[in-house]
Amino acid sequence: MPLTGPKEMFARAYKEGYAVGAFNVNNMEIVQGIMMAGTEEKAPLILQVSAGARKYAGQKYIVKLVEAALADTDLPVVLHLDHGPDFELCKACIDGGFTSVMIDGSHLPFEENIKVTKQVVDYAHDKGIWVEGELGRLAGVEEHVSSDKSIYTDPDQAVEFVQRTGCDSLAIAIGTSHGAYKFTGEAKLDFQRLEKIGNLLPGYPIVLHGASSVPQEFVDLANKYGAKVGGAKGVPEDLLRKAAGMAVCKINIDTDIRLAMTATIRQYFAEHPEEFDPRSYLKPAREAVKKMVQHKIKNVLGCSGKA
């Protein structure tokens, strides 16, 4: 089945009260693990590529990996650029076969964010490509995206931003954060803010970034075998499930996949020090990715059986 755009995917998610998972991909095993999970759960998928992943693997390689993964499935799958830093990179991904792009102008002043987002929208819409914008700023670090504090999205500004840019979906800041170290105290999301934005933009798909839950079992497993991932704390899954039942149609998940994969590889090396064949340790790592994505689809996103 060919790649699709998010329009129908999000319309159904909004209507039926669930979210679609946007899972970051970097290599073949991650793509395979996500696709295996989606196939077993009969769930729609968004495979998203960060600027760093694109630089690491190469855009053509990633696109061909995804195309290969789609050869034997009828799942609806979106190929999305995550955190596009500028118009040029968004354009390159649009021209290279992506069906959705995110332009991240959240670090810019409001008017400049509008300007660059609209520039991407104008180019993308001419080619039938979906555009995600971002308003507000998440704390934490993810590749080139870094902030030491959160700036929550202003609901009235969100309406103006969507109207003036024409972006198709909007990533907002309501308390999630990038990376594995999201909270020092009690985790909270501003559902009142989310509800207000949803009421002001009825039927409009909202996106949550920085929404990994940082499962402690994988933090502990990684640390048991030599990692130093101390104090990592993510977004409780019940809060994410609640958001998915509101206006949130897309939830980004990256850190949890990294943790599952890395902890599994660390364990394998410790238990099999004689092994040096990459296939030996990447096979269980791929299975860990699959199980993590299955868990998210069933228990957090609520999109199992929605393909």
Active-site residues, by number, are 82
Contact (Cβ atoms closer than 8 angstroms) between residue 165 and residue 133:
yes
Do residues 165 and 202 lie in contact, with contact meaning Cβ atoms separated by under 8 Å? no
Judged by DSSP in three states, 261 sits in: helix
**Dihedral pair phi/psi, residue 48, rounded to 5°:** -115, 145
Q: What's the rounded Cα separation, in Å, for the pair 200 and 188?
A: 22
One-letter amino acid at 303 equals: C
d(CA 241, CA 170): 18
Per DSSP, the three-state class of 286 is helix
Residue 305, token pair as written in the block: 């059986």
Long-range contacts of 51-54 (CB under 8 A, 24+ apart): 51/81, 51/82, 51/83, 51/84, 51/85, 51/89, 51/143, 51/144, 52/143, 52/144, 53/24, 53/25, 53/26, 54/81, 54/89, 54/93
